[in-house]
A and B are shown apart, each in its own frame.
Chain A
């Protein structure tokens, strides 16, 4: 009988092995860069005295390496192993698989080169410049095509829930990446965001939040639904719950982005929407966590002996903690305390180290013996890794919570006379330096555990034989016969393409409702007539600020709290940012807010502070930038920058690109003269002059209004 004929095919383990090795290799790099960055926060000299390894540039290197290189490769390894087995077919095309693998590693390599060089868009987790963005889109589509091709050729009628999560992740990341990366290029390595100010902020955090959702969460939930039952050797606790989990999670997640912008100049309605959906997210997130943990019912004795399950239990628990903490942090009153502090850093590391990191370790410890047809080389070593990792997370997170609360309360403390108790920002920093030291130690411990894993995996591979192509057989998919009473969901999930479209619609609704009104309608940002475009020199200074990653430690967004207006000045208005491409509001205040720094200090103060911050602020953690006083800028790119900005709608007069360099020289000479009067000799075309011009301009436009309209 033809219907029962079994078809022979092979699973490609080689690609899984490659992605797995890339996961560990980049993981170690990403964690190491993280430890270096953490060290610089209490020992600025650890920047090795050059711009390429200074905090502002290696922080994005760390986040990109961990998110896209470590976790990204882990997702691909996990998907390329589980998906063919769930569909009883190899991935669609081996060529696509290898294109995907080498393309992704090329992107990572380009990131590792361009970010230290300061070639960055400065938008968090989307820092890479436009040519790399295009490459990311191409490689990502190859990944998607490979999955959809496999779905079309599948031998299993129904799609297991893990695959739903993979598909939703694919389509959503594609949408997010394309919209957030829209920019107009100036040159091969410089572009200006298609959005400005408030709009740019909204799109960025719609992206940023959903990158967390659809890169760090949904793919891993898919992996959880496959590897956790595998490791526990029992089916998922409730498949029905997993269906509800899937739809409610992807529907709700996409709305929550604005919770990153509470109390900022973002319109109130968007903030409220973000909070409401964030709170609702607890339900599906915890549904998923509970489903994961209850899968282990009756198997808890195994957790005692099996390091894979140990890692998984902590991973899923960390997921539960992070997804409870997230909604709490998006409540406005909690956010008022937590935002801009190390609390957020602790929160994301519970997710990254606990959920993503530990699940990745579990998956690799499970996959390696499977693919090499052997047992794990040392369970003891893996258990040691588990404890080092767990302690590492605790040593990382706890000091960060203490630091955050201490600093935030110090920022907000007033004396009985109604003045700030700690008017000098630095006092609040010096207080938490010991916490930074413990945090770096926690990170180092976590990294050391990962090194143990590498040794264990190498030894495991050595003692087994690798099966590059694993044979399997399954009957061909029978042509579908309609059953009476078959419900719509079951029918959809048999039609993967239609299913993908539906999932896309679910995520698009949230995006459309939030983004379109803000983008399309110009009047959404109240204009302030005195706000003018940046002068050419200020523009160059701003691009230096971007390229050096200053936004990593300094916000430019004063929230409407008395504790902030007392410290920094008038709170920030939406209309002040209409020429900010990209926006530089920042998300962390390791140093003070800079939105009203313009005119606060003389030019010479900035000069000395940049060359050696500790001459002006003893005890400062800011890295010195002595090279800025000697690095020469040729300003050749200025006309092209002006033309690009004009195309984006910045009202420079026609033909201004030809006049810009002359205007730049006039302003530069003025600053040089100011500095000379204070006894500082500097060339007019040095970087420091442009940077001072920008810093002195920051937040000053609004004062012109007060003068003009008393």
Chain B
């Protein structure tokens, strides 16, 4: 009941004209980012962080989180109408969504996706409302050893789950952590890794790294893609026929569950949630052969799952300060920039902030429902803005945005370098998600470790003397062993296949 009262106070704050305007702006930009192919939620959120510098923390985070969950809604429209996923999590929606559009049922696909997204999003925010504070209270008992192990666990889980090779995941994660150490040692003030450049004394700015690795590298990758788009299919009625209601509802409920659970697990992503939901729908269907030919469950389930994921993924961030996906890492960077430290203390120290942001998510999801039901056809037209017009403007906005952070041309130069490195990392299959996540956590991990060791008489053994920390570190060992085994087996299979071909 206490949470409900606090949530109501949050609504009062989120509904002030200024905050409401930023919520509207955030979800609109998010929808825009989701609709535009070649610009995902990570890049979109990273690019817009600099614009929030002059704002207070509440409207800033309302705006940025609006972009994050808004992008999940937007990606559906292009998937259904022109068979191009606006962002990764909507790839799976193309399969049945576009088939439905070709059969003249685009409206049904968009309608059920919007309703599913709304249900998934709202249930996830309700979980954040009622589960978050209890989890934060439990996490209050954690000391530096537990936090160190927890962050290491989250990071290893991500490294283990993304990509085919745990070695490459670990390489990316370690480079990210080393980049986070550039600047001054927080304990002694000693200079580290400046390489003769005084501009690095304050460290590498998160915005510089995020825009380079995700924004610029995405534009460079797009030079290899055909960015010309089809004309959108006609929309028609948005409400599916009564005969499809039950199937859609069940898919929405299952999608909500899958997204909600996966959102709590570090290393997963909205794309995995969509994919798992699609597989489940196929498995439970009495006629799986309909999938790929316009099955409404193939749209309802995955679209619900990715939105439910987006909301649930905020729970580990708000309660533990652990980002479990690249977009959340970008949000964590924004929190830190605005002087907020996500984690258990956030609920105690900044209740006004946290409840206003949570309330804004209810409002944002409602605004997105309105935007996606009657206004879908207008959004589809936005997707047709020629890429050749859009990308130079995006590049310019990135550069001005980066410059505005520290008024530094050096930062733009560094962004260009990170953009080129980010592109190469994609080619080398080194996961940039692991790099950005470890960069965000790098200093926190070092700080927790130094605190642990400074207060310990048993050195590193203290990490194994506390039950939570010991359990998490054991799990880390299991993930590492399993990841190494999988990597070696993959390599061995590839080697055998190459040998046979030769």
Judge: A and B partners, yes or no. no
Question: Which B residues are closer than 8 A to A by beta carbons?
Answer: none
